[in-house]
Amino acid sequence: MTFFDTGLGLSTVSGWLRWDGWRDSLLEAANRALPDGAIEEEFTEAVLFVLSIRLNGLTGGERDMTFSARCHLSTLRARWWPVRALWAGMSAVIDLYCAAFRNEPTHCRTAWRNHRRRIRRLNRL
């Protein structure tokens, strides 16, 4: 007796679990939602930006700062050296990923600078 002896059949259950179908349906939905002329990379970057801000908020950071910017800031300003080392490690992992896949070796520092620029721009308004 196996898990799939329920009468549904292995093919039915495996059809529900096919990740390709989920991925394809999400891609279709994203393509329908994108404005004309927008490319998929633009959509992906916007989603990642929002997720980064949400992650930062969930971990106790400022509401409008990305997690990458917080990693750079906390590497510089955390009180205790073990905490600074932890943030520096996360910053290094993010920078390594961005260097390999986005050609941006100082992503966290750049994110911090962009955050400061956004704040200054908002304060001038």
Tell me the pTM.
0.65
- Tokens 């549904």 correspond to 8
pLDDT for 10 equals: 47
Rounded CA gap, 54 and 63, in Å? 8
Burial of 56 (0-12, 13-18, 19+ CB in 10 A): buried
Query: C-alpha 45: how far from its chain's center?
Result: 8
pLDDT for 33 equals: 65
Query: C-alpha 87: how far from its chain's center?
Result: 17
Q: Under a CB-based contact definition with an 8 Å cutoff, are residues 105 and 95 in contact?
A: yes
Strand, helix or coil for residue 72: helix
Q: pLDDT in tens for each of the 125 residues of the chain?
A: 444 444 444 454 455 556 667 667 766 776 676 666 666 667 677 788 888 989 999 988 888 899 999 999 999 999 999 999 999 999 999 999 999 988 999 999 999 999 999 989 988 87
pLDDT for 50 equals: 85
- Tokens 């393509």 correspond to 31
